Every structure is written in C-alpha cells, then in structure tokens.
Amino acid sequence: MKVRFWGVRGSLAAPGPATLRYGGNTTCIEVRTEDNTIIVLDGGTGIFPLGHSLLREMPLTAHVFISHTHWDHIQGLPLFVPIFIPKNVIRIHGPYDIVAGSGIDQVMNVQLQYSYFPVREAELRATLEYETLTVGQPVQVGDSTVTGHLLNHPVVNLGYRIDSGGRSMFFTGDHEPYFNIYDPEDPEYPAYQAMLDEKQCLFEDFIRGVDLLVADSAYTISEYPSKRGWGHGTFDSVIQLGLKVGAKRIVCTHHEPTRNDDALEKAFQEAVERCCPSSGGPEVMLAREGLELTF
C-alpha cells in the first residue's frame, strides 16, 4: 500500500511562505493498493494538484471517500480535473447527512450550482457515481476493503479503515476524543460515561494494530479547553491513541491554519516528548504535502 499526502491543513487553506514546508492545502490523501486501485480520502483543496498528477493515467477510475461534508474536506472536488474528462469514472462514497437529510450525492449537487460555480454537474464529461454509506458497511474497492466507523464531530463523520494485502491504515477525517457533557456530580454523569467508554472501546478495537494511523491533531493541549466541542483532537490525544492501539506508524494531520511551520514543529515535538517512550515505540510524524509512505 502506498499513501501520499496532498493536503494536510484543517478548516481553511493556508498557502504562503509560513507554510511552505508542510503545505497549505486542506485535507486530501491518495492511497494506491497493490493492484493500483486509486482511493482518495477527502476532497479538500489538495485534490486539485492530485487531479493534475493523474492526467498521465487517463482514462481512470477513482474512488473518493468523503469523511464528512464540511467545506475543508470537499471544496476541491469541483476542480478535480478528472471529472471533466470523458471515459473517467469517479465514484464518490460518503455518509448520510442527517442535518440536510440527504445522501452523499448532495456533495456535488450543491457545489455545482451557478450560484457557486460556473459549471453544472450535467456538463461534466466523466461518469460520476455516488454511494451513501452506512456505519460499518464494508465496501470492496479493487483488492481492498474500505470500512467506515462513526467518529465524534459536530456532523456525521466516518473515519475509514483500508485493508489490502495484509496491510491496513485508518484515517479519522475529523475526530474529537469523546468527553462527558455532564459534570461529575450530575446524576446523569455515570450512565453517559459508560456509553462513552463503550464507544471508545469499539473504536480502539476497530483500529487495533493498524500499520498506519492518520489522525486529526488540530490543537495543542493548552488550546483544547477553549475549543472543546469543535470536533478536533490534539497532538497528545492522537499519539496516545496510536500507542494504545499498537499502530505501527502515527501521522498527525489537519494542521491548524494559523500555525506556521516553525510553530507546528514545536508543538508536535513537545507532544512527542510528553507522550512517547524513549525508544522502541512506533514512528510518529507530521503530515506534509508530498509525504509518501509505503508499507
């Protein structure tokens, strides 16, 4: 399995001299399996350069898995060059949106209206297919199995596990560690905590032993209290999760757009020093545009 990062920022694209080392595009990850199946995780602005890199492979079939439909995870889709080229097949998978009451087909239908974009969906030359997923539903994609797991975000968000050729990876999309909304002295606290503990156990069992964990680490532990409920993790929570489930490699992503490269490295290194054993643990790294991992 080969993984390449095309967009690693969260919330808002942040191009410029302060983000040159790690990149300013929002979330997009390309996955290639042994039979060269193309799997794309999220369609943030990073999908634009990915699309141009695919021009030499036309015609193609690409499977795009959307974790959730917040702008930073879908805003690059209308400019994904393969959708304009005949004979290409683009299959877009994603969760049912309980807020909008519609399936993943809305991800293009809404964006490709003249109010927002000059090209309508009917004018696209590629074949677009949609599959709205249910939680835990395995999808066979070439020689791989992709399975979504419901995570903690203000909208329905599926994290995706990919299993292929005895290798595995998991991508969270956006995820905030589960937290109890009740005060400890509140009578509802114990029952709610028991429910959260069960969710956490199910999550950990789902990703246990993955070769690669790619997870949302937008905040530092000092920033998190003022951001609680916004649906994002911290460097510490991601590293601790990876250690607990025995992930062989941990990649922190969804970088806060106001954090420049120097500040990003500093915050990450401080978390590594707090959380990681001195030796013998998994490889822990920061996602950056252009990073390629093969396993």
What confidence category does residue 238 fall into, taking pLDDT thresholds of 50, 70 and 90?
very high
- Using DSSP's 3-state secondary structure scheme, residue 282 falls into coil
Closest CA to 138 of 176, 164, 165, 175: 164
Element of type H or E holding 112: none
Q: Is the pLDDT of residue 112 over 80?
A: yes
Separation of alpha carbons 183 and 190, rounded Å: 10
Q: pLDDT of 163-210, one tens digit each?
A: 999 999 999 999 999 999 999 999 999 999 999 999 999 999 999 999
- End-to-end, the C-alpha distance of the chain in Å comes to 6
Please give the angle made by the CA atoms of 166, 170 and 174, to the nearest 5 degrees: 170
Write out pLDDT tens, residues 8-63: 999 999 999 999 999 999 999 999 999 999 999 999 999 999 999 999 999 999 99
- Burial class from Cβ neighbours inside 10 Å (0-12, 13-18, 19+) for residue 110 reads middle
pTM: 0.96
Residue 249 has pLDDT above 80, yes or no: yes
pLDDT for 219 equals 98
pLDDT at 100: 77
pLDDT over threshold 80, residue 267: yes
Domain that holds residue 182: 2-294
Is 144 within 8 Å of 38 (Cβ atoms)? no
Alpha-carbon gap, residue 76 to 84, rounded angstroms: 14
**Domain count of the fold of the chain:** 1
* CA 124 distance to own-chain centroid: 26
Yes or no: say if 212 and 247 are a contact pair by the CB < 8 Å rule: yes
CATH of the domain at 172: 3.60.15.10
Q: How confident is the model at residue 139 (pLDDT cuts 50, 70, 90)?
A: very high
> Smallest Cα–Cα separation from 72: which of 153, 160, 161, 134?
153
Please determine, for residue 101, whether its predicted confidence score (pLDDT) is greater than 90: no
pLDDT attached to residue 281: 87
pLDDT of 143 strictly over 80: yes
- Is 207 in contact with 247 (CB distance < 8 Å)? yes
Distance between CA atoms of residues 246 and 77, nearest Å: 34
Residue 277 has pLDDT above 80, yes or no: no
